[in-house]
Amino acid sequence: MDKTIVLPFVSFALIAAAAVGAAAAWNLLPQRVGGLLRWGAIAASALAAAGLAIAIGVPWRGSLHLSWYGVCMLAAFLAGWLTMQRRCAAIGVDRQRQADIGILALLGGMLGARLMYLLERPGVIQADYTKGGLGQVVASALDIDGGGMVWYGGVALATAALWIYAKRVRLPRLALADTILPSLLLGLAIGRVGCFFNGCCFGQECHLPWAVPHVGGHGTVLVHPTQLYETAVCLILAVGLAWYWRRRRQDGAVTLLAIVGYAAWRFVNEFLRDHGPLVETPVLGLNLTTAQLISICLIAASVGVWAALRGRTGTEVPGSRYAKPAA
């Protein structure tokens, strides 16, 4: 179990609100606006977002959680961002755009992961609203430092933000997705180590030689180290996809392989995880988790998209060993 040091600090929810405001200004301001005027507008947007958060009841005082979970989350982001840079350069994305992509991915990923965690637990939202109204709900949603994240939610919001951004600045969206996915899975592999230290996302009770102790409501029991299972699988996927990226014959191929590979693994791993009091959804007589339903939808959608993309020919594939897809 991770030992967390808690220190008095500015509310992380308030920091997150200011960061969202700054990111919005950074990406919405026209490129011709530069220098002090640009930075002034970004600072004003951050202050306005923080002021709005305080106005609706978000507290300005909070605490900072120092833990191995946080260290692993930071390492996951840095590893993902650094390893995608060379691939981004190969498809014509300059350093300024790379920084924009990193900011959007970080903010969208954290906020989306937190929001989906709360949406899967409506009782938590109701309790927050009863306790402190809308301000408490917003504070809870933005309290990313306190833990409670759902990976699929983070990917969904980050993907939507990056897709809109890439369209706005005219970046090749499928090629960009191909550059990001191997690094995203590398980040997830590192992040799951943080989950292991934190004691979250743990598995069901088992008595295999590699079972690990977990302290729960019924004392200490041996469980599947499902976090480390995912670390191993995501590392294999990340390395394999990074190798394949230089050998792809079509934009979108790496993305679709990554989605299908991870979704298939996540579907299986969900059977080993302990989901506590979460309500599962019966489908075709089976009790499936939200993550399993999403996995099924992703695999089905990927197969359909792959069938559509196979008909495309004659398109350049930047960064690949092959100038064009095979006929």
Task: Please say whether the beta carbons of 162 and 105 come within 8 A.
Answer: yes
What is the C-alpha to C-alpha distance for residues 260 and 274, in angstroms, rounded to an integer? 23
d(CA 18, CA 31): 21
Q: Looking at residue 325, what is its pLDDT?
A: 44
> Directed axis angle between helix 68-90 and helix 95-119, to 10°?
140
Say what the pLDDT of residue 150 is: 85
CA distance 241 to 258: 7
b/e sequence 134-172, b meaning 16+ C-beta within 10 Å: ebbbbbbbbbbbbbbbbbbbbbbbbbebbeebbeeeebb
User: Tens place of pLDDT for every residue, the chain, 327 residues?
Assistant: 556 677 777 877 788 889 888 888 877 777 777 778 888 999 999 999 989 888 888 777 777 767 788 889 889 999 999 999 999 999 999 988 898 898 889 888 888 888 888 887 777 778 878 887 777 777 777 776 656 788 889 899 999 999 999 998 899 999 999 999 999 999 999 999 999 988 888 999 999 999 999 887 678 899 999 999 999 999 999 999 999 999 998 889 999 999 999 999 999 999 999 876 554 555 555 678 888 999 999 999 998 888 877 766 545 676 666 545 443
Return the DSSP state at 8: E
Nearest to 176 by CA among 166, 185, 184, 186: 166
Residue 317's pLDDT is 72
Q: What is the pLDDT of residue 171?
A: 92
pTM (predicted TM-score): 0.81
Dihedral over alpha carbons 9, 10, 16, 20 (to 10 degrees): -140
174 Cβ contact partners less than 8 Å away, ≥ 6 residues apart = 251, 252, 255
Of 148, 10, 158, 8, nearest in space to 69 by CA:
148
